[in-house]
Amino acid sequence: MVQMHCPPGRMLPVPPIIRVTPNQAKLAAIAVDLNVRLRSADMPCGMQERAFRCTRAVLDANLEKKPNPTHIAMYLKKEFDTVYGPAWHCVVGQSFGSFVTHSSGGFVYFSVDKLSFFSSRRRSDQSGGKLMTGADPSSLVIVAIANSFALSSAVYIAANISGGHVNPAVTFSLAVGGHISVPTALFYWISQMLASVMACLLLRVVIVGQSLPTYTIAEEMTGFGASVIEGVLTFGLVYTVYAAGDPRRSLQGVTGPLAIGLMAGANVLAAGPFSGGSMNPACAFGSAVIAGRFKNQAVYWVGPLIGGTFAGLLYDNAVFPNQVPDSIRGISDGVGA
Q: What is the pLDDT of residues 30-51, one digit of tens each?
A: 888 888 988 888 888 888 888 8
pTM of the model: 0.60
Domain 22-125 indexed as CATH 2.170.8.10: no
Q: Is-contact 303 229, C-beta < 8 A? A: yes
What's the pLDDT at 233?
94
How confident is residue 311, by pLDDT bands cut at 50, 70 and 90? very high
Please give the Cα distance from 269 to 266 (Å, whole number): 5
Q: Is-contact 150 144, C-beta < 8 A? A: no
Q: Indicate the residue type of 145.
A: I
**Domain-by-domain residue ranges, the chain?**
22-125, 137-328
Residue range 202-236, pLDDT digits in tens: 988 887 656 677 888 877 788 899 999 999 999 99
Strand arrangement of the beta sheet that strand 36-42 belongs to: 36-42, 102-112, 115-122, 88-93
Q: Residues of the chain with pLDDT > 70: what percent?
A: 78
Lowest-pLDDT choice from 7-16, 123-132, 322-331: 123-132
Please give the Cα distance from 221 to 200 (Å, whole number): 26
Residues in the chain: 337
- The string of DSSP codes covering 191-225 is HHHHHHHHHHHHHHHHTTTSPPP-----TT--HHH
Given a cut of 50, is residue 127 above it in pLDDT?
A: no
Lowest-pLDDT choice from 145-149, 234-238, 320-324: 320-324
Q: Do 22-125 and 137-328 have matching folds?
A: no
Q: Is 278 exposed, middle or buried (0-12, 13-18, 19+ CB in 10 A)?
A: buried
Query: CATH fold of 137-328, please?
Result: Glycerol uptake facilitator protein (1.20.1080)
Mean pLDDT, range 63-73, rounded to an integer? 76
